[in-house]
Amino acid sequence: MVAGDWLKRIGVLAALLLLSSCYIPDKFRGELRLSKYGDYSLSFKGDLMFAPILDDYRKNKIKPENEAERQENIRRDLSRDIAFRKIESKGKGRFSVEYERVGRLEKVQLTSLIRRDARMLSLRSMENGAIVIRANAMKPSDAQILAELGLNMEGEFRITTDGNVVEHNATVVKPFGTSKVYIWKIENPLAPMPHLVMIRDIDPNRPLAPRASEVNK
């Protein structure tokens, strides 16, 4: 093996280690409806690919006798989150999914799609009143390796809110009644990932829940 090929192989393996337990979205449409008080409705419809399995396909480790089991293991991992309404295998670690979650962000809280150890999108409420929405971004080097492995990332994500948005990187912003719709067009892994910061209002009819440390004082 020549030095260039060896270095390239090391780079691919390093990226796969970095991406372990990572799901990559593709051909998707996602939406977050977020009120100025912190109530939210999060939906996602599209494909999810389990990145680490690609290396096994590349090395021909996936055989007819174990492929179904590997697919089922991924499906079970996804089904741990009851917010998934649909999980259908499309083969080679790719699943067609539908996801819906509703809730209310308390004073200090972190929630995510899918979950904390495999999150693609995080919703974080902070003590200073800020709510930060952030999707995971990739380094250019990692995005290039994903492209070499046959992964893509195309879709659209929207945030509809009547809150006081103080920072965002949306592709397009449109009025929607008393709210605004922030739209991100994702064409590849190097596209800017959704990021938005909102300052919440305090609902006089429902005070924010205190933190556990405050309750125990």
DSSP 52-110: THHHHHHTT---HHHHHHHHHHHHHHHHTSTTEEEEEEEETTEEEEEEEEEEE--SSEE
Measured distance CA(112)–CA(92) in Å, rounded: 25
Which residues are CB-contacts of 116 (< 8 A; sequence separation ≥ 6)? 110
Under 8 Å between Cβ of 183 and 61: no
The confidence band for 214, taking pLDDT boundaries of 50, 70 and 90, is: very low
pLDDT at 1: 45
pLDDT-based confidence at residue 189 (cuts at 50, 70, 90): confident
Confidence of residue 216 (pLDDT cuts 50, 70, 90): very low
How far lies 180's CA from each of 22, 41, 142, 173, 194, in Å?
A: 31, 15, 33, 7, 15
Which pLDDT score, from 0 to 100, does residue 6 have? 33
* Statement: residue 95 has pLDDT above 70: yes
d(CA 48, CA 73): 14
Residue 170 has pLDDT above 70, yes or no: yes
Strand segments (E) across the chain: 23-34, 39-50, 84-91, 94-104, 109-113, 121-125, 130-135, 155-161, 164-168, 172-176, 179-186, 195-199
Tell me which of 44-53, 67-76, 130-139, 203-212 is least confident. 203-212
Contact residues for 72 (Cβ-Cβ < 8 A; gap 6+)? none
Q: Please give the DSSP secondary-structure letter assigned to residue 118.
A: G
Tell me what the mean pLDDT of segment 41-52 comes to: 91
Q: 17-26, 27-36, 198-207: lowest mean pLDDT where?
A: 17-26
CB 157 within 8 A of CB 30: yes
Q: Which residue has the higher pLDDT, 210 or 37?
A: 37
Residue 200, beta-bridge partner list: none
Mean pLDDT of the chain: 83
> In the prediction, which pLDDT does 142 show?
66
Continuous segment of H or E residues that includes residue 211: none
Q: What is the pLDDT of residue 7?
A: 35
Considering the entire predicted model, what is its pTM? 0.81
